[in-house]
Amino acid sequence: MKKKLNLNFWKNKKVFVTGHTGFKGSWLTLLLKYLGAHVTGYSLKPNNKSSLFKEAKIKKIIDKSIIADVRDKNRLYKEIKKSNANIVFHLAAQALVRESYIDPIKTFETNVMGTINILESIRKIKSIKSSVIITSDKVYDIKKNKIFKETDLLGGVDPYSASKVCCEHAFNAFVHSFFDQKRMCSVATARAGNVIGGGDYSKDRLIPDIIRAIKLKKKIIIRNPKSIRPWQHVLDPVSGYIILAEKLYKNKFNKIHSWNFGPDLSNCKTVKYIANKLALSSNSSIKILNEKTKLFKKETVLLRLNNKKAKKIA
């Protein structure tokens, strides 16, 4: 993001972040605290032994860290209400494609009902002036090979993608049913491309998997090496979320509800390209193998986002 973040706006703002123990949630929390905001986090414990949340000691930095489940609607509402939040960022989710095949029920419960619980809380709590609901770049109908813009048809053929599409439909229903012009809260969904950066220890993500293989001197196993993804550093979408939330707070985008956050098309690279770059930079002679699995046969080969709308606010 070229635009500088507005320290004057964020200083002393009360912000509620779900998923603050996750990869993007941790970076968002760190950036909000740097800007002078008072941040309350609500999330499950980190999934992995190593995490940015632990390494950056976010529990000590944040104003309040609540370990709880977004599926607990009463607890969620109570904690948001108690925080007196002005702005809400919703990142808590089951975010792994493989895990969605293993446990689709949990994926739909967490992603869909978690989002609905957030929306229900937002519409009832008057202190909230803006909210950004993070979904995914995987919400688009992949039948057509195209560069996806926000108004394109949605469609998910794997449990993870489908759950995020459900979030978008639930959001749309709440917007048209409850968030009319008389309601002071402005809301939007954000669809970010594939995010990379320090502190990501999740399984089944390209960079962490390659780094682990390099450290253990094992062969790198990747799936769909020819697949193209909109790779971007984590600070790019996180900065975008922050700028969007500020604009929403100031009622700049009352009728614009969905936003893509991704790189320019020239930076949309294949999985093999990224893997080779990392292997070369590590002076490793690791052989890259294709993963033979039926789990990911529904994944799209070519995924690129139209970022023109987001660049207008950047």
- Percent of the chain predicted with pLDDT > 90: 63
Is residue 86 assigned to a domain?
Answer: yes
Is residue 271 assigned to a domain?
Answer: no
pLDDT band, very low/low/confident/very high, at 275 (cuts 50, 70, 90) = confident
Span of 7-21, 41-55, 72-86, 200-214 with lowest mean pLDDT: 200-214
Residues 45-86: tens digit of each pLDDT: 998 788 999 999 999 999 999 999 999 999 999 999 999 999
Record the tokens describing residue 2, joined without a space.
């070229």
pLDDT band, very low/low/confident/very high, at 185 (cuts 50, 70, 90) = confident
Q: Indicate the SS3 state at residue 46.
A: coil
Query: Is pTM beyond 0.75 here?
Result: yes
Residues 80-117: tens digit of each pLDDT: 999 999 999 999 999 988 899 999 999 999 999 999 99
Is residue 246 assigned to a domain?
Answer: yes
pLDDT at residue number 213: 81
pLDDT band, very low/low/confident/very high, at 1 (cuts 50, 70, 90) = very low
Is residue 249 assigned to a domain?
Answer: yes
Record the tokens describing residue 143, joined without a space.
């039948």
Q: What is the mean pLDDT of the chain?
A: 89
pLDDT at residue number 295: 56
Domain harbouring 154, CATH code: 3.40.50.720
pLDDT at 183 over 70: no
217 vs 212: CA distance, rounded Å: 8
Domain that holds residue 179: 7-196+231-262+307-313
Report which of 28, 60, 32, 93 is spatially closest to residue 235, judged by C-alpha positions.
28
Mean pLDDT of 171-177: 93
Is residue 287 assigned to a domain?
Answer: no
Residues 226-247: tens digit of each pLDDT: 888 888 999 999 999 999 999 9
74 vs 47: CA distance, rounded Å: 24
Q: Helix 114-124 to helix 73-83 angle, to the nearest 10 degrees?
A: 40
Instruction: Give buried/exposed letters for 182-219 (b at 16+ CB in 10 A, else e).
Output: eeebbbbbbbbbbbbbebbbbeebbbbbbbebbeeeee
pLDDT band, very low/low/confident/very high, at 34 (cuts 50, 70, 90) = very high
Mean pLDDT of 279-304: 65
State how many domains the chain has.
Answer: 1
266 vs 236: CA distance, rounded Å: 16
pLDDT at 146 over 80: yes
Is residue 50 assigned to a domain?
Answer: yes
Record the tokens describing residue 138, joined without a space.
């995987």
pLDDT at 312 over 80: yes
pLDDT at residue number 179: 83
Is residue 274 assigned to a domain?
Answer: no
Is residue 189 assigned to a domain?
Answer: yes
